[in-house]
Amino acid sequence: MKFYVPEWEDAVDARYDFVHDELSNLDKQERERHFIWDIFDYETTPIDGVLISREQVEDSQRKYDRVTEHGVYDDPQLTIPDWLPTISDCGAWGYKSLPFPRYGNDDMLEFYEALDVTVGVTIDHLVLGSGKEKGRLYLDKHAFHPDFTESDLPEELTEQVDIMVDEWPAEWPDLVERYDDSIYGVSAVKPFTHKDFEGSVQGVLQRMDRDPRAVYREDDKQDRYEMTLENAAEIRELYDNGDWSFHLMAAFQGWNPTTYGEALDEVLEMGYQYVGIGGVAGSQLKQVEEIVTEVGHRITEFESEHETRIDTHVFGFAKTDGFETVGRAQMSSIDSASMLRAAWTGGNNYHLNPDERFDAIRVRYPKPGDSLEIAVKKSMLGQEVLHALRAFDDEDSISRRTRGWYAEADLVLDALVDYLEEHRHDEIYDARLLRKITSEFRDDFEYGCELQASFSDDLRKQLVKLLRVDDADDPVDFDEYIEIINTGREVAEEFPRTADRVEALEEKSGEMATFKQVWTVLENYAVSDLVDDQNLLEGYRKTLRSRPWDRCDCPICEDLGIEVAIFRGNNRNRRRGFHNTYRFYQQFKRDLPKILIVAPADSSLFGRNTVEGYLTDMYGELWDAVHDIPVAEIGVLDANGVHEWWEPGPSSVSLDPSGISEELERKAGRYDTILYYDPDGEARFDIDSVEIVEDPQEVRGRTLERLGYDSDPVPSRDIQIQLGEF
């Protein structure tokens, strides 16, 4: 089974300066960005693939142009390695409040081809429930205006009808004409007036029925369900008549196990061998369990009847307590970003395992709108606690570290006055862009980074703004610089706030970096009027006493230590999200061991329509024994790699023995077990986790044993287990 992570621009600055909270380059385009696959190596990367939604790609025109020009594997920003498969979908969550998908089938095929993804997904429309008796009414947001807003809709209407308002596309795809030609090809809409919504609810709905600004459906759930299936049928025909480089997955929707099962039956009859369960993201696991169990039974029946294999993806699923059911129910892949997002939403945002989750310690930046004095004070409070936390992590003297920080900060302002007197009219400050001047200033002034860290980005920005307008022929009054600097001096007189108390504790105990010592600093910070986080202290106490980062073997924790457990900005928070994903993936592999079943290739694999056909012809007994096994991946091996069962035969086949051995050893780095089928007993491999098996039934037996499954693993339809979220 494979775990995919959605691609939502989750990148960090590869050379971020944690001590000074400085980006490596103020120009985003010039930074070296690291995604999760850049931070981990091949063997430890905690994902098996990347899900790329068109809605996300189109968030930025620059990104859209870039990835459609280069493809996701050659894109200079994404840097996705070619060994990670990619799935791309339309991003139905992004247009769930529109009456129709915003894309057409021809358009999506071309998009997937341009992206060069491994798998493209059919266009689906989320099946949304509604408790309103008269159905759902969609309204074009463009028709609202200051004199008639959503709040002006009559209460009688909103009580009886589910109203969904969104900005409709300037141009609907061609398929919309088939469903509602009244909104298709409309270049502009008239604004709504109160008269449009006068009268009875039924009268309003009748008027809206052919209105280019509205779509009304009495049974919207059924319409969305059928629309999803019709798109799957239409795009399948287009796909079969074209020459596409990607595999096509059918997304299907429903609102209970039966409707999901019936939708599955339809897409299987269309010829799909990779299907995706949509619309379950955010659902309770008990509901997901019932759906995947029904789907799993129908897939098992289909596989048995047709002697083939069906792979199934569950969109938006990441609940570890459900792995048992999902594995047994024949699911092949899942995706989620929930453990990544958890790093900066709510509490318990540092995950060690499902039973041990901790609050990251919030060290806050100044807020926009803070006065300069408040911004400086918040920065200095933050720096004092940050230096204390690092000393605690290093088991060093906290009082010495905080005094050392203050001594350096104290030097900054004196040095700044001297620097500005000498250099404020230098040519490097003639640029018009503040970003350019800021970069020059922080690089040229010896303490440019420390100035921002200790005295706030606000103070540095005010100085930079003066530098931009300060001209030798028309100089700024130097007192304006001094006034800004003096604000920093006045605040600095209050610091260091806790060094004496911590030093007394150090002398009394004869120990350094104890919990009591670091707690003195952190508590002083959290209860201060400018922070007011005393309600979080109990969580912080648990975090500091447990030191979970010391018990994690991920490269982020090993490299950064306590920084991963500090809630502060993208470059810490997203790295913590990568860490959470790694911890999730460790349990994913424990509960659903990564197993690969491979058979050797020969020259007849070349040019086959599918690898499945090759396995059926050359290793029929093996295929009969394993094609319906859940969780495990199945393919054929040559020196170019593993060709999965659903792929077309490769354009070349290499039988070089050393190359085959090297590729097998490489694959072994990412799998718990590789079962190499060798009916003739000729293979000679001495590779950890690679087992050579001659009997097809033994391959099946060993796989099920590794998974802890019996010979009939699919769970009973009436199983009801109360399961929790990761």
* Percent helix, strand and coil across the chain, each to the nearest 5: 50, 15, 40
Distance (Å, rounded) from C-alpha 630 to C-alpha 715? Answer: 12
Contact 429, 397 (CB under 8 A): no
Q: Which long-range contacts (CB under 8 A, 24 or more apart) does 77-82 make?
A: 77/33, 78/7, 78/35, 79/33, 79/35, 79/37, 79/38, 80/35, 80/37, 80/50, 81/37, 81/42
| pLDDT tens-digit map of 426-471 | 999 998 899 999 999 999 999 999 999 999 999 999 999 999 999 9
Q: Where are the beta strands (DSSP E) in 218-321?
A: 247-252, 274-277, 311-314
| pLDDT tens-digit map of 514-536 | 999 999 999 999 999 999 999 99
What is the pLDDT, as a whole number, of residue 718?
A: 56
DSSP character at residue 194: G
| pLDDT tens-digit map of 629-655 | 999 999 999 999 999 999 999 999 999
Per the omega criterion (within 30 degrees of 0), is the bond before 496 cis? yes
Distance (Å, rounded) from C-alpha 360 to C-alpha 549? Answer: 11
Considering the entire predicted model, what is its pTM? 0.93
The CA-atom distances, in angstroms, between 468 and each of 134, 428, 442, 471, 476 are 62, 10, 14, 8, 10
> Vertex 643, ends 639 and 647: CA angle to 5°?
150
Q: Is the dihedral of CA 663, 668, 674, 676 positive or negative?
A: positive
- Rounded to a whole number, what is the distance in angstroms from the first to the last CA of the chain? 18
Which regions of the chain are under pLDDT 50?
A: 719-726
CATH numbers and ranges of domains, the chain: 2-127+223-353 (3.20.20.105), 136-217 (no CATH), 365-532 (no CATH), 595-707 (no CATH)
| pLDDT tens-digit map of 576-620 | 999 999 999 999 999 999 999 999 999 999 989 999 999 999 999
What is the pLDDT, as a whole number, of residue 723?
A: 34
| pLDDT tens-digit map of 52-110 | 999 999 999 999 999 999 999 999 999 999 999 999 999 999 999 999 999 999 999 99
Distance (Å, rounded) from C-alpha 37 to C-alpha 75? Answer: 14
- Structure tokens that stand for 196 in this block: 């449009």
Three-class SS state of 367:
coil
Q: CB-based burial of residue 5 (10 Å sphere; 0-12 exposed, 13-18 middle, 19+ buried)? A: buried
What is the pLDDT, as a whole number, of residue 638?
A: 96
Q: What is the 3-state secondary structure (H, E, C) of 117-133?
A: CCEEECCCCCCCCCCCC
If we measure between CA atoms, which residue out of 663, 651, 646, 648 comes closest to residue 600?
663
